Structure 1
Amino acid sequence: MKGLLTIESILHTKDFKNAKLIGGHTGILKSVSWVHISESPHLGDYLNGGELILCTGLGWQENEEMFVTVIKKAIAAGASGICIELGQFTFHIPQAVIDLANEEGFPVIIFQELVKFLDVSRNINIHIIQSRYNVLTELEEYSKLLNEVLLSNTPYQKMIDTLCLTIKRSVAFEMMNTEPIISFYKTLDKQTFKKSVAEASESISSFPIELLDNQYGVLYVDGSLDALSEMDSSIVKRTVQTLGQLIFRDIYSNDHHMEVPDWIKDWILGTIGADQLMINLKKLNLDKDVSEFIVIMIDSPDAQFLKDEFKYLSIFLKSQFKAIGIDLLPFIYNHQLTCILFTYKDWNRVDIVNILERIEDYFKKKQQSLKAAIGRPVQSLYKLSLAYKTANEVMFFHNTMYKQTLLFYQDIYIYRLIYPLYEKGILEDYMLDHLGPVIDYDYQFNSNLIETLRVYLYNNCSKKVTATALHIVRQSLYYRLDRMKELIGEDFDEFPKKTALETALVALDFLNAIGYDWKYSKKKIT
């Protein structure tokens, strides 16, 4: 592609055939947005950037300090270069100006004879306008190529190949958790470019691809940003936009089913056949090698809110998790937003917490509250029912024993043992087998030996610390401990009975918290 006018191309026009570049040779590839005539020493205040300035130096030609200041202001304003006519007002360019131009890569051009600035500016500006029109036309043609690529079977690779051939540079595209897609231009050593991409070398330009405030990938182009022409930069930016659209399409192309499809319901309940499962996962492009599956449940007191906000929540969660390399399948089931996470590498708990906290912030803005339960990760897709079951357990304890917003299965500790006993209907029996006599004693005599036992075991059976914690004298504690020995045995402060009693106390707290309907009848102790 021809691209926009540069200082170099302007020097080859007929208006500049007698002009001479005397400084800033490294900046000749700078693009020129307009030719501007000005004699003001404050010309830098009137520039937008990219201009080529035409002047005679009138007013500051004999003041070297002012001359340097004018050039500095032009550079600061982003001008592409300056042309100075010699022979009428200015007769030589100070060496300090040339040194500054060389240092900054700011082209300084001299006309060694009188020229008509109006003719020069008109001719070059007409060329610039035509050039910009050509750029827009070529960008439009390039965009059509990209649109055709979007419909292909391998859009990412073909898009990178198209960019490579267009700008004649090697390019690479790297997305989260994937190998880079590379297209080599014939003049570049392949291994050198691969190494530069892997090390994010300064010899290549990088362009992040972001969606919803998250980075999903990076496009790498051989050469520094300064080495890219304005036309090439425009083409690269257009490619970045299209890659973003392609990623967006891939993330959200699957239908957002609010109500759970039958096959997903069968999957989380463990009743789906292997063939049917793989067929459905393939339709969603989720039939990949997964490291772990995780189930997250999000609950809110207002079930209708979850339904009303489902589309936004599913899109937001998909984008957030995609940014950390995790695919997500959301749906509404049992009035809860349930999400299946597909992880492809070791995942970071902090990342998940951060995402869920952002969701919590959104709920707060809508004056809603939430509880998020994260189940046990499983490595096999055929064990997803376990991940779902444990997420359910976490949500159960969320609603009974815990008050924080986010709760992981790993953090319910002893309740992982408590719940199966409760589910099987034997938790009360277990608790009463160990604490029944103490409970009955407290009931009959209106005492609180249970609390004494709890504090005593919690303080690792230290009599001094326990007496202090209960605000009683040690003699009173000794009496209570003697009574407990009569009720539950001499060895109640020794392993393993001590551990069994601690577990039974947790079970008692749990049953009380859920408002358990006690089945046993309290016996009187004589």
Structure 2
Amino acid sequence: MNPDYSLTIADIMKRPAFQHAYVAAGADSLHRTVRWVHIVEVIQFEELLQGGEMILTTGAAFKNNTHLFTNYIAQLVKRNVACLGIEMGHYISDVPAEWLGITENNGLPLIIFPKPVRFIEITQDIHAQIINQHHHDLQELERISREFHRLTLTSQGVGHVLQLLQSSTHAQVIYLPIEGQPHFVPAPSDKQARHWMELLKANAEKQADDAPSAPLLLEDDGQTLIIQPVGAMGKTWAILAIALSRKPRQHDYLILDSASLSIAQDLLRKRYMEERKLYSQTLWVDDLLHLRIRDEDQIKAFVGTAFKKLNQLTYYACLIEFEREAADDLRSGAAYSVEDDSLGIHLSLTVRSVFEQHLFHPFITLQNNRLVVIAFDYLPGKPAKSRLQQTFAALRLLKTGEPWKLTISVGRPGKGFLQAYHSYQEAIQALSLTSTLRKDVLFYDDIGVFQLLFNITDRGLLETFVYGSLGPVIEHDRTKGSELLRTLKVYLDHDGSKQETAGRLFIVRQSLYYRLDQIGSLLGPDYMEPEKRLSLQVAIRAYQLLHPDKEL
């Protein structure tokens, strides 16, 4: 691929269709690139052009009218067209000197066809030349992209990708990883290297909170820099840039994008291997949460020098359950598999990145289709719950479009590694309520009276309490197929507001009144008295705990 190639006016003047044509004005601008050819025979056309076109006309729009010609030229200049070609013949027999002065003053090349020509042949010839070059560029881009991918599989993948990027664009290549040493191909002077590093770091700081995005264009001392962030999972891992001494072309952007994707895949693959290794090193977290480790000295051996600091920080036990969406393929609902284990490692990599971005130090272990995260808070002075919610929102955003559903629960805060079991158990209890309470993210702090009910281990006692309070309503629903229990729950949850209850149940008020009369006849007319109302609300929660499969 020749990165300097472009079809200029000078090139076009050598084509057979232009053998009798000559440049009457604007000869100093024959280096302009021609992007396309248009025939324009109307006087108002400004919105039809995009810039860089060769315009052909017989002069039908302006004939011998200097005012119209001036207006015509003004529109061409405003749209930054490449040049204008006028055919002498039916409408115009010669070009006045005044017209030549107008085009010359505007720097617009004016090509005169002294004899009639077939505009269709000109457009076909030039368009074929442009399209063929684009096709060649795409083929070459595909070859280079495959080569980028192959190079990332070698031991020095990134270095080889940078060299190929340089040879393909004939540009200075600058690679600045967030962690590690910068690379320059070819090697510049120390002064120039420092200048580029400062420039890229300043730009990176401005965009520090943004995910990897589209390339940025900067002008610097006569050179054009195209800056492309390299990263994945919402995090930038490096900055890749090329410095051009010419105007950038589309293929420069495409090759840079392909190189950045190949480098990102290489970095992601390495981080995946690091995450798998880290996962194997943190299997002790599972032992800690199941009380198989009861000695701080054992934990110190696993955590190392960070133990003392972390042991004094507040932490939260988080459970992240990942399940296939119901609309997924035929494997939906299948048992946990090796493939899911691989997904768990990938998800663990994403989770670690997102938690660290929000200033939590995560210890992560995988349990079937659940990630268990013990997240130590590096900002104990800031509200942790809102930051955790932001963390989960960012995590869910990164998983958008993938056929997996994430359900998250969080235990209460704790301190000291050996106490993590308690927060973990609370997270398990909260997770068991997510479907009942229709929550994708649930904090133990928000489950209310369920905290008390979970500690009543005697299931028979709960059953007796539920049916002693709600038995007639439950039995009526079972035998009649009614929805009185759900109606009662919604009615109590909305403080007895009939309007809100009817709206929530999607029924008219008359239907609600009838249901409430039935509930009153089954439970007694005093069921809204404070003590009985409280008892009913607790009994409904206990019923939900005992029957999580029944939707209320």
Q: What corresponds to 2:145 in structure 1?
A: 143
For these two proteins, the number of residue pairs brought into alignment is 374
Q: What corresponds to 1:193 in structure 2?
A: 196
Contact 2:410 2:442 in 1 (8 A): yes
Contact 2:54 2:81 in 1 (8 A): yes
In the alignment, structure 2 segments of 5+ residues that lack a partner are 204-217, 326-335, 430-440, 446-552
Q: What corresponds to 2:219 in structure 1?
A: 202
1:232 to 249, 252, 258: 252
Quote how far apart the aligned CAs of 1:163 are. Answer: 0.9
Quote how far apart the aligned CAs of 1:406 are. Answer: 6.8
Q: What corresponds to 1:356 in structure 2?
A: 392
1:265 to 284, 306, 312: 284
Pair 1:251–1:228, CA change in 2 (3 A): same
Quote how far apart the aligned CAs of 1:132 are. Answer: 1.9
Q: Which has the larger radius of gyration?
A: 1
Contact 2:319 2:427 in 1 (8 A): no
Alignment pair present for 1:332 and 2:332: no
Q: What corresponds to 1:314 in structure 2?
A: 348
RMSD of aligned residue pairs (Cα, Å): 5.5
Q: What corresponds to 2:2 in structure 1?
A: 2
Pair 1:173–1:189, CA change in 2 (3 A): closer
Contact 2:410 2:427 in 1 (8 A): yes
Contact 1:210 1:244 in 2 (8 A): yes
Q: Residue 13 of structure 1: SS of its match in structure 2?
A: coil
Q: Residue 39 of structure 1: SS of its match in structure 2?
A: coil
Pair 1:140–1:72, CA change in 2 (3 A): farther
Quote how far apart the aligned CAs of 1:135 are. Answer: 0.9
Pair 1:185–1:359, CA change in 2 (3 A): closer
Q: Residue 83 of structure 1: SS of its match in structure 2?
A: strand
Quote how far apart the aligned CAs of 1:150 are. Answer: 0.9
Looking at structure 1, the residues matched to 34 and 263 of structure 2 have their Cα atoms a distance apart, in angstroms, of 26
Q: Residue 218 of structure 1: SS of its match in structure 2?
A: strand
Looking at structure 2, the residues matched to 96 and 68 of structure 1 have their Cα atoms a distance apart, in angstroms, of 7
Q: What corresponds to 1:35 in structure 2?
A: 37
Q: Which amino acid aligns with 2:170?
A: K
Counterparts of 1:462-501 in structure 2, within 5 Å, are: none
Looking at structure 1, the residues matched to 34 and 60 of structure 2 have their Cα atoms a distance apart, in angstroms, of 26
Contact 1:57 1:84 in 2 (8 A): no
Q: Residue 283 of structure 2: SS of its match in structure 1?
A: helix
Q: Residue 110 of structure 1: SS of its match in structure 2?
A: strand
Quote how far apart the aligned CAs of 1:97 are. Answer: 5.5
Q: Deviations over 1:201-236 (max 9, x none)?
A: 532222234645554443222148x81123323322
Alignment pair present for 1:219 and 2:221: no
Q: Residue 227 of structure 1: SS of its match in structure 2?
A: coil
Q: Residue 132 of structure 1: SS of its match in structure 2?
A: helix
Contact 2:282 2:365 in 1 (8 A): no
Pair 1:72–1:252, CA change in 2 (3 A): farther
2:410 to 371, 390, 402: 371
Q: Residue 219 of structure 2: SS of its match in structure 1?
A: coil
Alignment pair present for 1:299 and 2:301: no
Q: Which amino acid aligns with 1:317?
A: V
Pair 1:5–1:312, CA change in 2 (3 A): same
Contact 2:318 2:374 in 1 (8 A): no
Q: Residue 182 of structure 1: SS of its match in structure 2?
A: strand
Contact 1:209 1:244 in 2 (8 A): yes
Contact 1:296 1:373 in 2 (8 A): yes
Moved more, 328-337 or 50-59: 328-337
In the alignment, structure 1 segments of 5+ residues that lack a partner are 279-290, 377-385, 409-526
Q: What corresponds to 1:111 in structure 2?
A: 112
Looking at structure 1, the residues matched to 40 and 282 of structure 2 have their Cα atoms a distance apart, in angstroms, of 73
Quote how far apart the aligned CAs of 1:128 are. Answer: 1.8
Q: Deviations over 1:76-130 (max 9, x none)?
A: 77x752322264445154756655x55xxxx544236346333433332232232
Looking at structure 2, the residues matched to 202 and 331 of structure 1 have their Cα atoms a distance apart, in angstroms, of 47
Q: What corresponds to 1:20 in structure 2?
A: 23
Looking at structure 2, the residues matched to 374 and 227 of structure 1 have their Cα atoms a distance apart, in angstroms, of 56
Q: Which amino acid aligns with 1:84?
A: G
Q: Deviations over 1:137-193 (max 9, x none)?
A: 221221232122111212222212221222111122334444433323679954443
